[in-house]
Amino acid sequence: QAQLVEFGGGSVQAGGSLRLSCAASFDAFSDYSMAWFRQPAPAAGREREFVSAISRNGGDSFHADSVKGRFTISRDNANNRVYLQMNSLKPEDAAVYYCAAADTRYYGMGYAGRRPSDYDYWGQGIQVTVSS
């Protein structure tokens, strides 16, 4: 059973930085494209929104317009880890952040989906709070 565990969430003031990490417990990590999604108000039923994604060899990455220039996704295939460096955080970035994985070995090397339905496995989520 594949497992993803997120680390590094917490509270920060606006303008600050956080680095999220996600540890994957499954084999063949390099067959999976990885992504981060967020859900601003899970209790209110808001859908998860795309934040960033990275192709399975790390050569291609994609970011939502709302985080471009502030967030950077990266991965370490040797250690089954994916990261999200978040800089210049804003109150509207506050959310539960989820790590996700998709087996994309039969897709082009540069592919990484941007919809929740593109992903097979999910972490439990981690809270990020940004105070103004």
Q: How do residues 99-126 score in pLDDT, each as one tens digit?
A: 999 999 999 889 999 999 999 999 999 9
Closest CA to 54 of 19, 99, 1: 99
Q: How do residues 80-102 score in pLDDT, each as one tens digit?
A: 999 999 999 999 999 999 999 99
The CA angle 32-75-24, to the nearest 5 degrees, is 55
Instruction: State percent of the chain over pLDDT 90.
Output: 89
Closest CA to 84 of 17, 14, 4, 32: 17
CA atoms within 13 A on the CB side of 64: 16
Q: How do residues 46-79 score in pLDDT, each as one tens digit?
A: 789 999 999 999 999 999 999 999 999 999 999 9
- C-alpha 33: how far from its chain's center? 11
